[in-house]
Chain A
């Protein structure tokens, strides 16, 4: 369920990294670093921090390549997990909580709450089955899941953003993910 057929063999490149072939890591970098940096930047919202995240992530990809299970496939997804988790570590270390400046607060206020719960994300048709399944969710569940994945928001950050109780947000995500799974199996 990738967005487009892609001839790049991520699993083979990760396997080559596990054997110490740094050219393979370079191929992964050339192939994916702009998108990985974009994903990291969206979460940490600071270019230097995002580059730090991608740096740390590629070192992790290199050192953890031998633990990658090629039989489970999805080498590309594995890389995004490493980058997104590294980005979460960067923001959950407290930078976001203590370091929010006025501009950011204003921006948060400006688009915080809409009583009709508009979509916070413009979905793309080329997301394939995921697009279909997400559109079947109600906006609250959809927005919660997208804020978590794309923005790297924690449960409480989503609750704040959607002006909803924490427990409600947790339930939205749990039920939303469950519905997504049923839809996409």
Chain B
């Protein structure tokens, strides 16, 4: 006998799928903290797995992977493990932001060449952000510092915006609790952005453009999908 036996019944029902949903979610939460319960669940997962061979496999359509990939956020690879996701808002979800640092940097390196930036005409540090579509990392906007507290947002592509919707620009440094609005943005138009009330930009600071109601998000936080996203890099 060992300690996992205390959890055998619960773990068995969890893996079998016969727990009421609320109870199953409780177990999900406890699994994060309880190694003995994890072991009991792993026992049943491994032992019952052969039952999956009773079911005929079914090849998914090619579109399914594309759909999954779209839901993951930007296509990029982080070399370090991201911090655990807080549960306070969708903008802090793990999958959403992971990969942005490397992706933003790679895109920025490319864009610095493409748009022919003059990098020596301002006091250091000098940041740039390439805002890319989460689905395919295609650059859509570039954000450049034009002064200590001013930025210029320039479109690289035309952004289609549905009727009664608007684009809203947001930023969030790593230690902020949520994104802060930098105002509405018109598709295809350059806009000057003032940061005067905000702290100075820090490396890796996030910028994103979301699709919001025509007058902007009513709650002061992003409510719509992220259309473009990127992190500040020093150039």
Contact = CB atoms under 8 A, between A and B. Distances in A.
Contacts of B16: 145, 148-149, 173, 177
Contact of B18 (A89, A131, A148): A148
Interface of B: 8-9, 12-18, 21, 24, 31-32, 35, 38-39, 41-43, 45-61, 64-65, 67-69, 71-72, 75-82, 84-85, 93-95, 98-99
A3 B53 contact: yes
Interface stretch (A21-29, A98-106, A107-115): A21-29
Interface of A: 1-3, 18-23, 25-26, 29, 33-35, 37-39, 41-42, 47, 50-51, 54-55, 58-59, 62-63, 66-67, 69, 72-74, 76-78, 80-81, 84-85, 88-89, 92, 121-124, 126-128, 130-131, 145-146, 148-150, 152, 154-155, 173-174, 177-178, 180-181, 184
Contacts of A19: 78-81
Nearest to B65: A29
A82 B198 CA distance: 42
Given A78-B45, A80-B49, A18 B81 contact: yes
A2 B50 contact: yes
Given A58-B68, A63-B94, A88 B42 contact: no
Contacts, number: 178
B45 to A, nearest CB: 3
B170 to A, nearest CB: 21
Given A74-B46, A77-B42, A150 B51 contact: yes
Given A130-B47, A148-B16, A59 B58 contact: no
A161 B220 CA distance: 52
A122 to B, nearest CB: 8
A77 B60 contact: no
Contact of B39 (A72, A76, A77, A84): A72
Given A77-B45, A149-B16, 4 more contacts: A34-B58, A51-B61, A59-B95, A73-B42
Nearest to A64: B94
A154 B78 CA distance: 41
A66 B32 CA distance: 10
A78 B52 CA distance: 13
Given A19-B81, A21-B77, A80-B45, A130 B50 contact: yes
Contacts of B15: 77, 81, 149
20 contacts: A1-B50, A19-B79, A20-B76, A20-B77, A33-B60, A50-B58, A54-B60, A63-B95, A66-B82, A72-B42, A74-B45, A77-B46, A81-B14, A88-B21, A123-B54, A124-B53, A146-B51, A148-B16, A149-B17, A181-B12
